[in-house]
Amino acid sequence: MKAPPAVLTIAGSDSGGGAGIQADLKTFMAHGTYGLSAITAITAQNTQTVQSFCRVEPKMVAQQIHAVMEDIDVKAAKTGMLADAQVIDAVCDAWQAHGNVPLVVDPVMVATSGKRLLDKEALDTLRARLLPLALVVTPNLREAETILDLAPNSIDSVEAMVRAAQEISTRFGAAYTVVKGGHLPGESVIDVVYERCTGHVDEIENKRVQTSNTHGTGCTLSAAIAANLGQKLQVVDAVRRGVRYVNECMQTGYKVGKGQGPVNHSYAMRTMEIVPTLHNPHPFTEYLKAQTNGLWEQYTGHSFVRQAAAGTLSKQAFIHYLKQDYAYLKHYARATALAAFKSDSLGRVAELVDAMQACVRESELHVKMCNHWGVSQREMEDEQESWNNVAYTRYIVDRGMSGDVLELLVAMYPCLLGYGEAALAASADSRSQQADNPFGPWIAAYAGDEFQAAVARGRRVIEDLVREDVLGGQRLRRLAKTFRDTVDLEIRFWDNALEHN
C-alpha cells in the first residue's frame, strides 16, 4: 500500500490531550496523513488549567526536526507553541536547512484566559524570522492584535479582520494570512483568508456551534490546513476544508473533564469503513451499495434486464425505454459537463469530458437500435419525457447545483456502475448471446470493454475524490442518501418501461 503523505508538527505537548501535538497528530490521522512531531515544550495541564510547563532545549528541538526531515519526505508542517526566542531561532535555523516545504504557522502567543505566552523578545523573533517562512499564518483576533501592536479588542469587525490580514502578510511576508473570527459575536463565524501576491480576500462563513468544548480549535485548524497541503490541495481549498473539519469536530464534541473540553477529532475516523485494502480496493463504492439496504441488488437484477437477456422483453417496452433513455442521456451529458466545470484539476476535467463524449456514443447506439425497428431519430427527439425521467434527471441536476463535484458524481454513479454490473450479469445468460435475441447487442454494448473501461474510470474518479476529502457525520450520510435515492430512481425508470409491455 502506498504510504500517506508525512506531515510534521512542531509544537508543545498537552497532557490533557485536547491541544498541542496531541490534537495535531489526531488531526493528521483523521486526514489520512502520517503524523510526525518535534516537541518544543511539555505542559502539565487538563481541561481546567495549565499547572506548569517546561520548554525543551532549543538544540533538542532542532535535532528532532533534523532527524525527521533527513529521513522522511515531509510534505507539509505546522508550528504551534514555541516557548521563547531561542526555540523560535532554533526552529527557523533547522527549517531553512531543509528546503521548501509548505509551513503553517499558528502563532500561539495568547492563552484563552488572555495571558501573554510570549515575551517581547520572542514576539520580535517570531515577526522577524518565522512569519516570513510561513506559507500560511493563522492568528485569532487577539494574536493578530498582538502581532500588529494593536490595542486589545480593536479588531472588532470583518472589515478590521481584512485590514489586519493584509497588514500581517504585507509587513511580515506570509504568503497567506488567515484571521480567525471566532471571538467576534454573532450567529455566524467568519474567517478571512488574504493572499499576498494577488490581494484577493476570501471570507469563509459557518454557523456558530454552541458548545463549551472548544479547547484546541486553533491547533486543530492549523494541523488540518497542513494535512490538506500535504495532500496537495490549493491553499484556499486547504483552509476551507480545515475550517469545515473543525466545525464538524465541534458539532460532534463530547464532555471530557470538568472544564473546557476538547473537540472530537475522531468523528471523521468513520472513514475507516471506506479505506482501501487488499481485499476491498473500492471501499467507498461498496459502502454506498451496502447503504441501499437491498435496493442495489434489486436494481442490477431488475426484471427488465433479465427479460432482455432471455429475449422475452416486449418490443414496445424496449422502444419506450430507448426513447426515454435518449432524453435522459442529454441531461446526463449536461450533468457531466457541470461536474467538469466544478472540478479544479485539468486531468479530472479531461476525464469528465471523455465521459460526456461517451454519452454521445451511447445515444448513437440508441438511435441505431430504434432505426432498426423503424423508429426515426426525429421520433426520439419528439418523445415527451416521462415523469420518472423528469424526476430522475432533475434530482441529479439539483444535487449538482446544491452540492460539490463529489455529490454530483455520486448522484450520477448508479447509472454508470449499475449498467455495467447489470450487463455483465445479463451477458452470463447464454440466451443473451443467441443470434435471434434482439436485445443481445444492447447487453453486449454495456458488457463490452469500452463501457466497462468507462465504469472503471468513473469509479477511480470517485474513489480518488473520497480519499482527498474528509467524510464523516452528516456529509457521509448525505452522500449515502444521494446514492440510494438515485438507485431507487433507476429502478423506477425500468419499472416504467415494463408498464409498456
Q: Pick the catalytic residue from 16, 181, 216, 253.
A: 216
Q: Pick the catalytic residue from 27, 217, 285, 336.
A: 217
Is 20 one of the catalytic residues? no
Is 219 one of the catalytic residues? yes
Short-list 256, 283, 259, 257, CA closest to 271: 283
Is 180 one of the catalytic residues? yes
Query: Which residues pair with residue 349 across a beta bridge?
Result: none
Count CA atoms within 13 Å of residue 93 on its CB side. Answer: 13
Short-list 17, 413, 10, 484, CA closest to 215: 17
Gap between the Cα atoms of 38 and 62, Å rounded: 8
280: number of Cβ within 10 Å: 13
Q: Pick the catalytic residue from 180, 289, 323, 342.
A: 180
Q: Pick the catalytic residue from 214, 252, 336, 482.
A: 214
Q: State the Cα angle at 109 between 258 and 60, rounded to 5°.
A: 95
Short-list 9, 30, 496, 8, CA closest to 263: 30
Q: State the Cα angle at 182 between 141 and 40, rounded to 5°.
A: 65
124: number of Cβ within 10 Å: 13
Q: Pick the catalytic residue from 35, 80, 218, 261.
A: 218
Q: Pick the catalytic residue from 75, 181, 219, 252.
A: 219
Is 216 one of the catalytic residues? yes
Strand-strand pairing, 34-45 and 50-55: antiparallel
Gap between the Cα atoms of 453 and 459, Å rounded: 10
Gap between the Cα atoms of 448 and 471, Å rounded: 33
Helix/strand/coil for 217: helix
Helix/strand/coil for 417: helix
Is 218 one of the catalytic residues? yes
Residue 229, all three cell numbers: 497541503
Is 347 one of the catalytic residues? no
Q: What is the enclosing helix (H) or strand (E) of 36?
A: strand 34-45
CB contact set of 54 (below 8 Å; sequence gap of 6+): 41, 42
Q: Are 243 and 289 in contact (CB under 8 A)?
A: no
Burial 162-181, CB ≥16 within 10 A → b, else e: bbbbbbbbeebebbbbbbbb
Q: Which residues are catalytic?
A: 180, 214, 216-219
